[in-house]
Amino acid sequence: MRELPAISASFTFSQSSLQDYSDCPRRFWLRYGERLQWPAVESEPTLENERRQQEGQHFHRLVQQHRLGLPAEKLARFASTANLSRWWENYLGDDFGITGYAQYAELSLSAPVAGHRLLAKYDLAAIQTGEKALIFDWKTYHKRPRDEWMAVRWQTRVYRLLLVMAGAHLNGGIPLAPEQVEMIYWYADFPTRPARFPYTVAQYQRDLEAVKQLVIEISTTRMDFPMTDETTRCAYCTYRSYCERGAAAGQGDNLEAELQEYDFDFEQVQEIAF
């Protein structure tokens, strides 16, 4: 077995890379170690999924512009597809309960963990100084995931963790206590059923330790990033033909495809974060 080069000390971890490693160590290595661009063989469900992902990105840009102060009437004409139009109407129909909160759209926060940087980019953080900090993440999934399932995603854990670790400047210079932080997934197709995840000191300590351990594990592994045994995870993976786990995309209505969100543009993010 060949020895792999070390992950560079300048490598920035994120919820996406931690999730990739947890789902499949090989996917992590191919994506971040080898930086392998491998076109997945397209098929109808994948094309539909890609279209929806593009609409999802467009929706995020619309909401960001709106949060930055552009009038809804001016933005409405860009909600030009059936999905976008429906999501936009649902979004405008919700006040999110944050009147009077300071609002930070597309906020980036980072902190050192086990010799690396850990970074998160938030769709929206709404903060009432000294009281409450709400993290909003807009999701355009075609199915509403189960809350138990979202609770253990690295995004849910990393976003709350980093706001406590690195959000003092948003809270009058005082670090936020875990109990003041809550993560909310707002589902554009299910606007009355957001998923809410409050935070506790015990969860914060558990998450900090878990991220540290995982970063150490990933950054000290040299010999192998094994392929996952759970082949259902391969069905929509970009690398499935490379790994000989099936050339065609999985068939059917699979939420797994939508959950494979790509990481941020790191070159762009690093300009913001450092």
234 in contact with ligand SF4 (CB under 6 A)? yes
Least CB distance to ligand SF4 at residue 245 (A): 4
Antiparallel, parallel or unpaired: β 181-187 and 132-139? parallel
58 in contact with ligand SF4 (CB under 6 A)? no
227 in contact with ligand SF4 (CB under 6 A)? yes
Burial class (CB in 10 A: 0-12, 13-18, 19+), 253: exposed
22 in contact with ligand SF4 (CB under 6 A)? no
Segment contacting ligand SF4 by CB under 6 A, of 7-15, 183-191, 236-244, 252-260? 236-244
As a whole number of angstroms, the distance between CA 84 and CA 89 comes to: 8
**Region of residue 15 (left: phi > 0; alpha: psi -120 to 50; beta: else):** alpha
As a whole number of angstroms, the distance between CA 170 and CA 125 comes to: 9
30 in contact with ligand SF4 (CB under 6 A)? yes
237 in contact with ligand SF4 (CB under 6 A)? yes
Q: How many CB atoms lie within 10 A of CB 86?
A: 14
- In three-state secondary structure terms, 176 is coil
Q: In this structure, which amino acid lies at residue 63?
A: V
245 in contact with ligand SF4 (CB under 6 A)? yes
Q: Residue 142 has what DSSP assignment?
A: S
Q: CB nearer to ligand SF4: give 41 or 272.
A: 41
Binding residue (CB under 6 A) for ligand SF4 from 18, 24, 124, 249:
24
Least CB distance to ligand SF4 at residue 108 (A): 27
Least CB distance to ligand SF4 at residue 253 (A): 19
- Footprint of ligand SF4 on this chain (CB under 6 A)? 24, 26-27, 30, 227-228, 233-234, 237, 239-240, 243, 245
